[in-house]
Structure 1
Amino acid sequence: MRKAARTPARFRTGRRAAGAVLVTALALSACSSTGGKQAQEEATGVAAGKADTPRMKITMITHAPSGDTFWDIIRKGAQAAAAKDNVQFQYTNDVDPGKQATLIQNAIDSKVDAIAVTLPNPGALTPAVKKAVAAGIPVVAFNAGVADWQKSGALMFFGQDETVSGEAAGKRLSAEGAKKVLCVVQEQGQVQLEARCAGVQKGFSGTTEKLYVTGTNMPSVKSTITAKLQTDKSIDHVITLGAPIALTAVQSVKDSGSKAKVATFDTNSQLVKALQDKDVQWAIDQQPYLQGYLAIDSLWLYKANGNVIGGGQATLTGPSFIDQSNLAQVAKFASAGTR
């Protein structure tokens, strides 16, 4: 259905591990006899679709900026896992890495049972993660920090290799005949965003240029992209690193009179509509709902049964492309806010 980008062999272990978890979940749901259900419930601590293990408190800490609906999808996945696992779920976020580190310290001080965290700035966040681990609090990383999560002491990582996804985007742009691509970065210095643009440059045969914008100020984003397109008519494609930025870039293209086409990383329900209208050509999907779900569910599995997913490697949730070939299937789930 979806056209998956090629992934290095070192990450395939993680995918197989995630698949094993899914197969186990399907096997549990397939038990039809009373005896089978009872045996499975006794073995796993899951009864009537909800864990009866002791209630635990898990905090999720992200670098989400205010109003970015991509993170709503991650949060929905986390909440679904928490409801199943009898977890008291707490969510906090701050785009500033120093403040995000403070949120980790706050979670340590409140003696949570586990922490799920994004690592967009490993230098600022790793010391706080190590403090949590030293305090006996298991930590998993997700979404950002695929190259650095092991150094932080986190047990697992769920997300995509941003360099690989960027290369896949660059190769597709080349195949589509692009000559000059503008890569719009909404938060300078975040490792996952910089890796995406670097990957695009590596995979693309033409010319690439980065444009930094302030992602929390959409009027400024719009005016900055518009001005760039007005002054450089050679730009034939704009690739953005988030759905809200892509939707703004569509308006910038129209306002500037440019003929540039827009593609993006990440999705939300509004972005799916833009794909349907062909205002956006395609999107790279990292399955944010799955990231949120696995982050919480993996911590429950670790606390309840000592399980570690991935075999010491990242568990990849992407990348894959969403375009006209598979858009109808994705749109079904986007309407529920889970894609």
Structure 2
Amino acid sequence: MRFSRLIAAAGASVLVLGASACSSTGGKPASNGGGMGSGTADTPRATIAMITHEVPGDSFWDLVRKGAETAAKKDNIELRYSNDPEAPNQANLVQTAVDSGVKGIAVTLAKPDAMKAAIENATAKGIPVVAFNAGADAWRAMGVKEFFGQDEYISGQGAGKRVAAEGAKKAICVIQEQGHVGLESRCAGVKNTFPGAEVLNVNGKDMPSVESTITAKLQQDPSIDYVITLGAPFAMTAVQSVKNANSKAKVGTFDTNAALVGAIQNGDVQWAIDQQPFLQGYLSVDSLWLYINNGNVIGGGQPTLTGPSFIDKSNIDAVAEYAKNGTR
């Protein structure tokens, strides 16, 4: 394939990003398996595996997958998506992809130590690996070529500063998955800029349990005036917990979904930190296509940041337009 054709196809990639480089949505966008419409590259058909730590039912991953599907459609890629929230099982999925002879792998590194051996097996066989969403501090040492996501500690610092600026005195930072390096970094960042924060661990696989745990904490300590959650579904649950406890605590969150749009508009949730999951999925697949067909590596050895940015009442109406399309 002539290089000029590759550049033309890459140009189409830029156009897609210009139209949809937004962020997390929620609710559950319909997945048609094809992403957004675009032209198709004339490069040879290739298979790429995307393996995440998705917990079933978390709408965040619908956005990641839609971005990945959009890039795959444009790039003439067969996308094989799989997920497991348990790190050893996720590592097994990576090994299965290696054994099947895929041309590239995109993976999340929520628990890097458990993923290390499988990633090394992939790179040893010459399969390019990119990481996204989780593992910003671990990917280079594992031989991964690129990373797409946000610096979780910095995003946590931003949340802490925001809570402090709003006059809060005491906050809880709710971690829904213990041992997840990204979530722990978020809360560590919050505590760095807002010392009045403490961590509350909940079982993110059991939403009724999440609701009761947050409710009990608010009832136990009425001085808590802010709840910071690390995912949009948990923000909506926290809103209910605040009501259950007759608390006056405000709610802020990381990540968004369609349901959260209305919650920000009506004031139930004050803000959301957006890391653009659609963009993470898109860039992960597109970057592998570029590497496979032209040897390109994005980022110069540094992570490619897709966030953080705040969504609140000042800009939620603009985001809502994309949320309706299932790309934010």
SS at match of 1:140: strand
1:169 corresponds, among 153, 159, 162, to 159
Q: Following the alignment from structure 1 to structure 2, what is the Cα–Cα distance between the partners of residues 276 and 26?
A: 30
Q: Match for residue 316 of structure 2?
A: 327
Does structure 1 residue 93 correspond to structure 2 residue 64?
no
SS at match of 1:50: coil
RMSD of aligned Cα (Å): 1.5
SS at match of 2:102: coil
Name the aligned partner's letter for residue 42 of structure 2: D
Q: Match for residue 34 of structure 2?
A: none
Does structure 1 residue 307 correspond to structure 2 residue 296?
yes
Kindly provide the CA deviation profile for residues 241-291 of structure 1, in whole angstroms up to 9, marking residues without a partner as x.
000111100000001101100000001111112111110000000000000
Name the aligned partner's letter for residue 107 of structure 1: A
Does structure 1 residue 117 correspond to structure 2 residue 103?
no
Q: Following the alignment from structure 2 to structure 1, what is the Cα–Cα distance between the partners of residues 180 and 324?
A: 30
Q: Match for residue 45 of structure 1?
A: none
Kindly provide the CA deviation profile for residues 131-187 of structure 1, in whole angstroms up to 9, marking residues without a partner as x.
100011100000000001101111000000000000011011111101001000000
2:95 corresponds, among 91, 105, 111, to 105
Shift in Å, 1:22: 7.3
Kindly provide the CA deviation profile for residues 165-218 of structure 1, in whole angstroms up to 9, marking residues without a partner as x.
0001101111110100100000001000000000000011x4111111111110
Q: Match for residue 3 of structure 2?
A: none
Q: Match for residue 133 of structure 1?
A: 123
Kindly provide the CA deviation profile for residues 69-95 of structure 1, in whole angstroms up to 9, marking residues without a partner as x.
000000000000000000000100000
Q: Match for residue 72 of structure 1?
A: 62
Kindly provide the CA deviation profile for residues 292-333 of structure 1, in whole angstroms up to 9, marking residues without a partner as x.
000000000000111100011000000000001111111100
Q: Following the alignment from structure 1 to structure 2, what is the Cα–Cα distance between the partners of residues 114 and 163?
A: 29
Q: Following the alignment from structure 2 to structure 1, what is the Cα–Cα distance between the partners of residues 65 and 15?
A: 23
Q: Following the alignment from structure 1 to structure 2, what is the Cα–Cα distance between the partners of residues 136 and 286?
A: 30
Kindly provide the CA deviation profile for residues 202-236 of structure 1, in whole angstroms up to 9, marking residues without a partner as x.
011x4111111111110100011011111110100
* Identical aligned residues as a percent: 63
Kindly provide the CA deviation profile for residues 3-39 of structure 1, in whole angstroms up to 9, marking residues without a partner as x.
xxxxxxxxxxxxxxxxxx7798349x9xxxxxxxxxx
Is the CA contact 2:48–2:79 (under 8 Å) kept in the aligned structure 1?
A: yes
Kindly provide the CA deviation profile for residues 40-89 of structure 1, in whole angstroms up to 9, marking residues without a partner as x.
xxxxxxxx821110000001000010100000000000000000000000
Does structure 1 residue 198 correspond to structure 2 residue 188?
yes
Does structure 1 residue 263 correspond to structure 2 residue 256?
no
Q: Show the 5 A alignment for 1:1-339.
A: 25-26=14-15, 49-204=39-194, 206-339=195-328
Q: Match for residue 36 of structure 1?
A: none
Q: Following the alignment from structure 1 to structure 2, what is the Cα–Cα distance between the partners of residues 324 and 100?
A: 37
SS at match of 2:197: strand
**Equivalenced residues, count:** 299
Question: Which structure 1 residue ranges, 5 or more long, are not aligned?
Answer: 1-20, 30-47
Q: Following the alignment from structure 2 to structure 1, what is the Cα–Cα distance between the partners of residues 314 and 296?
A: 37
Shift in Å, 1:237: 0.1
Relative distance call for 1:23 and 1:75 in structure 2 (3 A) is closer
SS at match of 1:60: strand
Q: Following the alignment from structure 1 to structure 2, what is the Cα–Cα distance between the partners of residues 306 and 54?
A: 15
Name the aligned partner's letter for residue 171 of structure 1: K
Relative distance call for 1:22 and 1:228 in structure 2 (3 A) is farther
Question: Which structure 2 residue ranges, 5 or more long, are not aligned?
Answer: 1-9, 19-37
Q: TM-score scaled to structure 1, two decimals? A: 0.86
